[in-house]
Structure 1
Amino acid sequence: MLPPQAASWAVLKDALSNMAAEVERMAAVPAVVDDLTLAFERSQWRAGRGSEFIADVAQVNARIGDILAGARQELLGAHPLGPRRREQMELGIARDTAALERGVQFRTLYLDAVRDDPVTCEWASTMAGRGAHFRTLADPFERVIVVDRKVAVIANYVMEDAPPHAAWIITDRAMVAFCAHAFEQEWRRGRVWHGERRVRGGISPDVAPAGERRLSEAQRAVLRALSEGETLEGAARRLKVSKRTLQRDLEAIRAAWNLPNAPIAQLTFCWATSPERTLEQAA
C-alpha cells in the first residue's frame, strides 16, 4: 500500500502523460487538414462540375477525338504550336471531312509560320477545298478548341509539373463562351489562308496603292517582336520559325527599306517611326 501522497503523484503522472499525448495529436491536426484540403482541391480541379484535368497525352488525344466526333454545328480551333505532322494530317482528314459533310462549320487559326510548311499547306488546301476555313496570325495566341459553343479544350495553366500536352476539358457555360469570344477576337486579326505556300522575300500581297505597306505580315511580326525587346533567338521561338528564316525576313526588310547594312536597332527604330506601323495601329 502506497502513502496517499505517492499515490496522488502516480495518478497525476499518468494524467499528465495522457494530456501530453492529446496535445501532440491536437498539434498535428492543422498539418493533416492542410494535406487533406490540398487533396480535396486537386480532386475538385480534376473532376469539377465545369472542368476536368487530363495529363496523359493518349487520354487527351482520345478525349479530343471524341469531342470533335460529336460536333454538330461548329468547330473552332486555334493552334499556335507550329506545323502539323504528316500523321496528324492523315488522321484528321477523314474525321474533319465527316464533320464538314454533316454540316459542321469548320474554322481553324494557325501560326503564320505554317505557310512555309509543305505538309500543313497540303492539309489546308485539301480541307479548304471541302469547305473548311483557315486564317493565320503572325503574333502568338493561346491554344483552344471550342465545339458547338458547349465544350472547350484549353492548355494547362493550373497544375504544376504537368506534362506539356496536359489539357483541361471545360463545360462551364460562361467559360466556354469566354473561350469562343477570345477565339473570335484572334480570328478577326488573322489573314485568310487557303493553303497556298508562301513565297518569301517579296512584297506583301496587301500592298497599298501608294506602296506604303511594303512588308509582309511575317516581316512585321519580326519587327514587332524585336521592338518589344526579344533577341533573335527569342523572336524565332515566339514566332515558331527557325533563326535562318528570321534572318531571311530581316534581309527582306532591309531590301524593302533600302537599308542593306542596317543593324537591328536601326530597323526597330525605323519600324517605330514608319508610316506602315502607323497604318497598322489605326487598322
Structure 2
Amino acid sequence: METSTALYALLLAEPGREAAELRAELGCGEEEFEAAVDELRSLGLAPASGRLTAVPVDTAVRALLAEADHRYAELADRARATRAAVDRLHTDFLPLRTAPAHELVRGPDRIAALLEDAARGARTEALSLRPGQDRSPSALAGKLARERIALARRVELRTIYPVAALHRPAVLAHVQELTAAGARIRVAHTLPLWLIVVDAHLAVLPAPGEAGAAAVVVRDPAVVGVVRELFEHFWAAAWIPPELLGPAAPDDRHREVLRLLAAGLTDRAIGRKLEISDRTVRRLVADLTADLGADSRFQAGVHAARLGWI
C-alpha cells in the first residue's frame, strides 16, 4: 500500500522518530498506520517487534532467501521421512494385501513399458522428480519420446532435476528440447528419490532394496494424493535454471521493477516512481513472473535474487 511506502521512506530519511510523530506526518488514521507497519514487518523491512526502524532492502532480501532455504531443508526432512514411511509400507504392509491398488514391476524393459503406457494414458498432467537416472543417450531418448507423447496430447508436464544433472551436456540438451516442446522444468539442490505422478490417480515409485531394478505402481487415491503433495512441495522450492531462461538477464526497466518490488512498493507506487501506467507495471510484473517460472510475486523475487538479478 502507498502508506507503507511513504512510511519506509520516512524511516530511511529520519531514523529514530516516534511512531506517533510518523503517523501525524503521514496524516493517516491509526488503523491505516498499523496496517502499513504490519506490511513493512511482513516484508522484513522493519523489525518484527520493538522500536520501528528501517531495515535495508538487501538485508530483507537475504532474510527472505534464508527463510526459503530453511523451508527447503524442512521439505527435504519431510521427504526423507516420507521415503522411510514408504519403505515400511512396502516391506511390512504391502505383502499383507492382494488388492490391485499396488503393483511391483521388475526389469528395465517392463518399467519402460509401464512409463510409456502411463505417458500414453495421461490426460491432464504428468509430474516427476528425476534425481539421478536418465544418464545414457538411449535412456534420455526413450524418456524424450515418452514425454513428447504426453505433450502432444496437451498434458501439463512438470519435471524437477537436481542442479548438478544439468552439468552433463546430454542432460542439458535433453531438458532444453523438452522445454522447447512445452514442458516445464525446474531444478533443486537435491532430490531424495525419483517418482512419477500421472493425472492424480497413478504414481510410480522406486521399489525399496531393488537398486533401480524394480518400481512400485500405486493406484490408491489416498497414497497417490500424498505423493502428488510431496511433488508440489519440491516444485514450490525449485527454480528455473538460467540455461532454460530466455534472456540472460532483464533489461534496465524490468530490473528496476524487480528492485522496487523487492523494496515492497505497490504497482501504483512503482508506476509513479517510473512514470509509467499501472497497466504497464502489471504487464512488466507478469513478464518477469513468467520468465522466472514463478507462481507468485514473492517467488519471482526469490528466483531473481538467486540469479543475481537484484
Give TM-score, length-normalised by structure 1: 0.50
Q: 2:223 aligns with which of 150, 154, 175?
A: 175
Partner of 1:164: 212
User: 1:118: how far off?
Assistant: 0.4
The answer to whether the Cα contact below 8 Å between 2:115 and 2:146 also exists between their aligned partners in 1 is: no
Counterpart contact for 1:120–1:195, Cα < 8 Å: no
Equivalent residue letter for 2:194? R
Map residues 30-179 of structure 1 onto 2, 5 A cutoff. 44=96, 47-82=98-133, 84-157=135-208, 162-179=210-227
Counterpart for residue 235 of structure 1: none
Q: 1:44 to 1:57 in 2, by over 3 A?
A: farther
Cα distance in structure 2, aligned partners of 1:145 and 1:85: 19
What amino acid maps onto 1:164 in structure 2? G
Which TM-score applies when normalising by structure 2?
Answer: 0.46
Amino acid at match of 1:65: E
Structure 1 position 194, deviation (Å): 6.9
- CA shift, 1:53, in A, is 1.3
The alignment status of 1:187 with 2:238, answered yes or no, reads no
Whether the 8 Å contact between 1:155 and 1:167 is mirrored in structure 2 is: yes
How far is 1:44 from its partner? 4.8
Do the aligned residues in 2 keep the contact of 1:82 with 1:111 (CA within 8 Å)? no
Residue pair 1:83, 1:114 contacting (<8 A) in 2 also: no
Give the C-alpha shift of residue 163 in structure 1. 4.4
Displacement over 3 Å in runs of 4+: 41-45, 193-197
How do residues 131-280 of structure 1 correspond to structure 2 at under 5 angstroms? 131-157=182-208, 162-193=210-241, 195-196=243-244
Shift of 1:130: 1.3
Where do 5+ consecutive residues of structure 2 fail to align?
A: 1-92, 246-257, 260-304
SS at match of 1:179: helix
1:51/1:42 Cα in 2 relative to 1: closer, same or farther (>3 Å)?
closer
Residue 127 of structure 1 aligns with an amino acid whose one-letter code is L
Q: Note the C-alpha offset of 1:89.
A: 2.1
Deviation at 1:56, TM superposition (A): 2.4
Alpha-carbon shift at residue 83 of structure 1 (Å) = 5.4
CA RMSD in angstroms, aligned pairs only: 2.9
1:111-166 Cα offsets, whole Å, 9 max, x none, are: 11112110011111111011101111112322110000010001123xx5x34321
- Aligned mates of 1:94, 1:170 — CA distance in 2: 23
Aligned partners of 1:167, 1:109: CA distance in 2, in Å?
19
Q: Which has the higher helix share?
A: 2
CA contact (8 A) 1:124 1:195 kept: no
* Residues 129 and 193, structure 2, Cα contact 8 Å, conserved in 1: yes
The one-letter amino acid of 2:145's match is A
For each residue in 1:199-249, what CA deviation from the matched residue of structure 2 results, as whole angstroms up to 9, or x when unmatched? xxxxxxxxx98xxxxxxxxxxxxxxxxxxxxxxxxxxxxxxxxxxxxxxxx
Secondary structure in structure 2 of the residue aligned to 1:95 = helix
8 Å CA contact 2:132, 2:165 repeated in 1 = no
